[in-house]
């Protein structure tokens, strides 16, 4: 997911660089080269088709081969996609490379929430799933900094260096692959109880004593995961229809509330407004968003999902309306133009607190265990199709109405905040088995938070020894400082289970 955030931002900057436009754009009689509106739209929207393919490839691999082999596919596809981009001689080859890289993202978006939900204890599930957006935010700030540095180069290296740096993360992940632990739930579903026990011990580390491990294995064995997987029609039947709707709303909210406009076209928007420091402005905004993302990761399990989602979503709407209002001013002065910058930055803060991390958390928690792969596949596919449509239409909208596009996404942000209030329950601190029971009871949305379930929580620590996330993450079983640091680094690459190994 680091590369996904990096790619979105780095391409937003690269596409504005003179030498990239000279390579893949059209030049006029004065020697000024620019990507055509159609080329830019294709380069930004077509990769989402790759993500859609990745989503559909991930599910059967994860179901039949296990969760761990999916990460090998992620690594290899990343290498191939980046190689095609930096060696591109045509816009078509460059776009194909982006499509393959986005295919990797589709695999991540489909499998990672499921993998973390299956391996993490309830007390850490929100924190670990929130790492997905934290890595996207980290990728964005790194991309912004790289763009600022290389945009000053007067050669093809100005765009090739930022693109080529995407080799780094999959290479590091390749080194960490052998430490990755297979999902105990998946192993149990295959009848491999001994391997599941070993995997669970590795995941729970020193906080999991023998009694707790046995308790959790008994609970997992009784879970719906070990029953026959439900057919596709079950995704839309009974209480599962409600769960599918919640998951889909969660994933759609991440795309439809302005993310594509600001993340993919922010630099171009600043440039068209006349800012000569567009790259620096983008870097400032993403640096602030990164800090907020880190804060959100640590508070999502204490503050809960609903308060952050609803207030953050409403805040997004307010600041998108600010951007739209500035666009209504004829011949705005520079102080007025900077209000758009403020709107972008404040939108980023609200997004980092709400839909950005919480979409993945909702997806990991709301889905039924019996149809988890199919529900994830459906919800992430809908999200991807929305992103494709927005990416394809935004260049034309920016040309025709400019910053007034903020009114469109602001209205959509309000709509999603209202939907979140109505349909998304508070699921923090509850195991997947407890959530299954609450949904089967048809528990009303606003009663989830205080609902009592008789099933013991799926935890790797005793009821009286619950520790904060930061304490749990600093307690690996490996004694050497090097191992501790390496495992925490793998956590930052979304190998979430390793961080608590």
Looking up residue 297, the CATH number of its domain turns out to be 1.20.1250.20
Q: Of the ranges 420-424, 432-436, 490-494, which one carries the lowest mean pLDDT score?
A: 490-494
DSSP-derived 3-state class of residue 463: coil
Tell me: the pLDDT tens digits for 82-114?
999 999 999 999 999 999 998 988 888 778 777
Q: Which of 180-194, 217-231, 286-300 is predicted with the least confidence, judged by mean pLDDT? A: 217-231
Q: Which domain holds residue 53?
A: 2-500
CA distance 34 to 23: 9
Which of 40-54, 180-194, 199-213, 442-456 has the lowest average pLDDT? 199-213
What would the pLDDT profile of 15-64 be if each residue is shown by its tens digit? 888 899 999 988 887 878 888 888 888 898 888 889 889 888 887 888 88
- Sequence-ordered list of residues with C-beta below 8 angstroms from that of 480, at least 6 positions apart, any chain: none
> Within 10 Å of residue 183's Cβ, how many Cβ atoms?
25
Above 60 in pLDDT, residue 470?
A: no
Can you give the pLDDT at residue 206? Answer: 61
One DSSP character per residue, 225-280 reads: GGSPPPPGGGGGSHHHHHHHHHHHHHHHHHHHTTHHHHHHHHHHHHHHTT-TTHHH
Tokens 């776009």 belong to 95
Give the mean pLDDT of the chain. Answer: 81
Contact 164, 83 (CB under 8 A): no
- Report how far Cα 250 is from the mean position of its chain's Cα atoms: 12
Residue 458 has pLDDT above 70, yes or no: no
What residues have CB less than 8 Å from 178, skipping those under 6 apart?
none
- Say what the alpha-carbon torsion angle 279, 36, 347, 252 is, to the nearest 10 degrees: -140
Predicted local distance difference test score (pLDDT) of residue 455: 56
- Report the range of poorest mean pLDDT among 111-115, 128-132, 205-209: 205-209
Enclosing H/E stretch for 27? strand 26-27
- DSSP structural state of residue 458: -
Of the pLDDT bands very low, low, confident and very high (cuts 50, 70, 90), residue 462 is very low
**pLDDT value at position 310?**
92
Q: Find the range with the poorest average confidence among 209-223, 292-306, 331-345, 385-399.
A: 209-223
Average pLDDT over every residue of 419-435: 87
**Distance from C-alpha of 483 to C-alpha of 501, rounded to nearest angstrom:** 10
pLDDT band at 227 (very low <50, low <70, confident <90, very high): low
Query: Residue 421's pLDDT band (boundaries 50, 70, 90)?
Result: very high
Residues near 54 by Cβ (< 8 Å), separated by ≥ 6?
77, 102, 103, 104, 105, 106, 107, 108, 109, 110
Q: pLDDT tens digit string along 311-349? A: 999 999 999 999 999 989 888 888 888 999 999 999 999
Which range is least confidently modeled, 47-51, 119-123, 168-172, 482-486? 482-486
SS3 26: strand
pLDDT at 159: 92
- Count of domains observed in the chain: 1
If residue 370 lies in a helix (H) or strand (E), which one and from where to where? none
Return the higher-pLDDT residue of 88 and 262.
88
| pLDDT value at residue 230 | 78
Question: Distance (Å, rounded) from C-alpha 424 to C-alpha 254?
Answer: 14
Residue 500's pLDDT is what? 32
Give the least confident one: 8-12, 237-241, 409-413, 447-451.
8-12
Contact 29, 383 (CB under 8 A): no
Q: Which of 123-137, 210-224, 436-450 is predicted most confidently?
A: 436-450
């Amino acid at each position: 997911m680091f590369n996904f955030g990096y790619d979105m931002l780095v391409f937003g900057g690269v596409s504005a660089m003179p030498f990239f436009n000279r390579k893949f754009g059209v030049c006029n009689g004065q020697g000024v080269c620019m990507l055509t509106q159609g080329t830019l739209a294709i380069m930004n929207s077509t990769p989402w088709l790759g993500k859609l393919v990745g989503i559909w490839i991930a599910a059967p691999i994860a179901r039949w081969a296990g969760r761990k082999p999916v990460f090998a596919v992620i690594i290899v596809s990343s290498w191939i996609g980046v190689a095609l981009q930096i060696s591109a001689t045509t816009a078509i080859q460059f776009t194909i490379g982006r499509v393959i890289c986005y295919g990797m993202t589709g695999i991540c978006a489909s499998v990672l929430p499921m993998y973390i939900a299956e391996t993490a204890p309830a007390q850490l599930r929100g924190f670990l799933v929130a790492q997905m957006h934290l890595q996207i935010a980290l990728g964005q700030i790194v991309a912004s900094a790289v763009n600022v540095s290389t945009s000053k180069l007067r050669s093809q290296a100005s765009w090739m260096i930022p693109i080529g740096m995407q080799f780094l993360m999959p290479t590091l992940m390749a080194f960490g692959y052998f430490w990755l632990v297979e999902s105990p739930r998946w192993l149990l579903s295959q009848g491999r109880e001994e391997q599941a026990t070993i995997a669970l011990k590795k995941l729970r580390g020193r906080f999991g004593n023998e009694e707790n491990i046995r308790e959790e294995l008994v609970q997992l064995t009784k879970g719906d995961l070990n029953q026959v997987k439900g057919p596709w029609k079950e995704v839309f039947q009974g209480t599962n229809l409600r769960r599918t709707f919640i998951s889909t709303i969660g994933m759609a909210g991440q795309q439809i509330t302005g993310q594509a406009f600001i993340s993919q076209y922010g630099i171009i928007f600043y440039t068209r407004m006349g800012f000569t420091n567009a790259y620096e402005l983008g870097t400032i905004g993403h640096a602030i968003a990164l800090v907020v993302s880190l804060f959100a990761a640590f508070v999502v399990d204490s503050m809960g999902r609903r308060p952050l989602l609803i207030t953050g979503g409403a805040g997004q709407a307010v600041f998108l309306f600010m951007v739209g209002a500035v666009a209504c001013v004829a011949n705005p002065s520079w102080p007025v133009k900077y209000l758009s910058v403020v709107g972008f930055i404040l939108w980023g803060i609200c997004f980092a607190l709400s839909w950005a991390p919480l979409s993945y958390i909702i997806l990991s928690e709301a889905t039924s265990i019996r149809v988890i792969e199919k529900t994830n596949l459906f919800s992430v596919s809908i999200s991807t199709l929305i992103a494709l449509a927005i990416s394809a239409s935004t260049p034309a909208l920016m040309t025709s109405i400019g910053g007034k596009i903020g009114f469109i996404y602001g209205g959509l942000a309000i709509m999603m905040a209202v939907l979140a209030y109505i349909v998304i329950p508070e699921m923090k601190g509850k195991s997947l088995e407890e959530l299954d029971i609450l949904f089967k009871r048809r528990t009303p949305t606003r009663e989830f938070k205080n609902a009592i379930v008789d099933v013991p929580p799926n935890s790797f620590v005793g009821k009286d020894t619950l520790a904060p996330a930061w304490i749990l993450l600093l307690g690996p079983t490996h004694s050497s400082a090097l191992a501790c640091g390496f495992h925490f680094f793998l956590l930052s690459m979304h190998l979430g289970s390793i961080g608590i190994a």
